[in-house]
Amino acid sequence: GAVVSQHPSRVICKSGTSVKIECRSLDFQATTMFWYRQFPKQSLMLMATSNEGSKATYEQGVEKDKFLINHASLTLSTLTVTSAHPEDSSFYICSARKGSGEQFFGPGTRLTVL
C-alpha cells in the first residue's frame, strides 16, 4: 500500500505559540489531502480538505485563520495551528487520496498545548 508520513509524531508547546504539522505522501502524488482531528474516545472529525494549488475547504465550525493549511505540492500538505491554546490539544491525522479514490492515512500527530 501507499505510505503517508506525518511529522512530528508528538509535539508539546506553550500556549500562544504556533505549531506546524507536515503530511507527506511518500510514494504517490496526492492532489487531495484531508485533515482530521480525533478527541479521546471520539471519532475522527474532518477539519478541512486540502487541494494542491488552491485554498483549503474548511468544515463548518473550523476556524480557517487558526488552522492554516497549505498544500504546496502534490506530496506535501501542512497544517499550522496558530496561537495554540490548551483546548487545541488533540490528535491530528492527515490522509492523502490517490487517483483511484482510496485514502491512505498518516500515523497522526499528538499535540499537547500547555
Partner 1 sequence: GNSVTQMEGPVTLSEEAFLTINCTYTATGYPSLFWYVQYPGEGLQLLLKATKADDKGSNKGFEATYRKETTSFHLEKGSVQVSDSAVYFCALRGSQGNLIFGKGTKLSVKP
Instruction: Say whether residue 31 binds partner 1 (CB under 8 A).
Output: no
- The rounded distance, in Å, linking the Cα atoms of 96 and 112 is 24
Instruction: Specify the stretch interacting with partner 1 by CB under 8 A; choose among 11-19, 62-70, 76-84, 96-104.
Output: 96-104
- In the chain, the amino acid numbered 89 is S
Instruction: Say whether residue 32 binds partner 1 (CB under 8 A).
Output: yes
- The rounded distance, in Å, linking the Cα atoms of 30 and 103 is 10
Distance, first Cα to last Cα, the chain: 37
For binding to partner 1 (CB under 8 A), which residues are involved? 1, 4, 6, 32, 34, 41-44, 46, 49, 57, 93, 95, 97, 101-103, 105-108
